[in-house]
Every structure is written in structure tokens, then in C-alpha cells.
């Protein structure tokens, strides 16, 4: 009985560790198939907007890490043009899709997966992904466990 419990624990632990990598595979598949409903299920666009808005507020804690000058410039231009509704109007599922498409390996048909240079847990319920090398303009994703689903909750570069 004890061996069975240990074996079950090991199998469940392994499944848990592999789970967000499987979600990345699903995300990549939805992107390559241009399956926007599936992409929408994997991306919590409201959470992505919330994290970017928190990053803009220096007093709030955000899952968005250090951002590039290009990201800051993009946001500032949007705020100048669109005012307080900039994040809601700029950060859409289509924007997330275009960011991911921008990291797809040219001609390989493999989508963005060949560009994953780091992917691992930040916490038991957070999974951090870097697409591209740190010296170039990488794209960062954070996935968060929401109930029984891993979903993208932060996107930035």
C-alpha cells in the first residue's frame, strides 16, 4: 500500500510538472491553426490588461517584470493617442496573438516553441516563459493556475 501511495504521488507530481508545458504546446497549436476561440480560452486577456495597468502604477505590485524601452514607448504612445482607455484598446487577444506570431521561427512551421529559451515555475501556481534570448528582444509570458486551468496572465517585452 505504501509503495502504491508513493508511486501515485510520483505520477501526480510528474503530471503537475509537465502540465504547463502541455499548455504551451496547446497555445502554440492554437496560434498555428489560427484558432482564436482556443487562443481565447488559453489567454486571460483581462488579467493581461490588469498586470500591465499595475505595472504603470508604481505603487502596485505586478507580475510584469522589467520591460524594454520599446514596450514603454509603445504604451506611452498609446496613452498619448487614446488616453486612459489605452490599455483596454491596445491589449487585445489580437495583440497577444501578434506578439506570439512575432516569435515564431521563420519557415520551421514549429511556431514559437523553438524560441522558448526559459520555461519554469516561479511558484506552485505561476509559470514563467521567455521566448528569445535575453540579449535580443525577448517576449515574456506568465501563466497562472486558475482553478484547473493554466492561462496566460501576463505578456510583455
pLDDT at 111: 93
Write down the pTM of the prediction: 0.88
pLDDT at position 84: 85
Per-residue model confidence as pLDDT tens for the chain (157 residues): 899 889 889 999 999 999 999 999 999 999 999 999 999 999 999 999 999 998 887 767 778 888 888 998 898 899 989 988 999 999 999 999 999 999 987 666 789 999 999 999 999 999 999 999 888 889 999 999 989 999 999 999 9
pLDDT of residue 134: 83
> Please, how many CA atoms are within 13 Å of residue 86, restricted to the half-sphere of its CB?
16
Cell of residue 140, nine digits: 515574456
Report the number of distinct structural domains present in the chain.
Answer: 1
Burial of 76-91, coded b for 16+ CB within 10 Å and e otherwise, reads eebeeeeeeebbeebb
Give the residue numbers spanning the domain of 51.
Answer: 2-156
pLDDT value at position 108? Answer: 63
pLDDT at 109: 73
CA dihedral sign, ordered 106, 121, 141, 45: positive
- Residues contacting residue 79 through CB under 8 Å, at least 6 positions apart: 86
- Contacts by 131-134, CB closer than 8 A, 24 or more apart: 131/100, 131/103, 132/103
Amino acid at each position: 500500500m505504501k509503495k502504491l501511495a508513493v508511486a501515485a504521488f510520483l505520477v501526480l507530481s510528474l503530471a503537475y510538472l509537465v502540465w504547463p508545458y502541455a499548455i504551451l504546446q496547446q497555445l502554440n497549436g492554437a496560434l498555428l491553426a489560427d484558432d482564436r476561440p482556443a487562443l481565447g480560452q488559453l489567454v486571460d486577456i483581462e488579467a493581461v490588461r490588469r498586470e500591465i495597468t499595475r505595472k504603470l502604477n508604481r505603487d502596485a505590485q505586478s507580475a510584469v517584470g522589467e520591460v524594454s524601452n520599446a514596450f514603454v514607448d509603445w504604451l506611452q504612445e498609446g496613452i498619448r493617442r487614446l488616453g486612459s482607455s489605452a490599455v483596454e484598446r491596445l491589449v487585445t487577444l489580437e495583440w497577444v496573438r501578434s506578439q506570439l506570431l512575432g516569435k515564431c521561427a521563420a519557415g520551421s512551421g514549429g511556431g514559437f516553441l523553438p524560441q522558448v529559451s526559459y520555461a519554469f515555475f516561479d511558484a506552485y501556481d505561476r509559470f514563467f516563459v521567455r521566448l528569445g534570448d535575453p540579449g535580443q528582444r525577448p517576449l515574456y509570458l506568465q501563466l497562472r493556475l486558475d482553478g484547473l486551468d493554466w492561462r496566460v496572465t501576463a505578456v510583455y517585452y
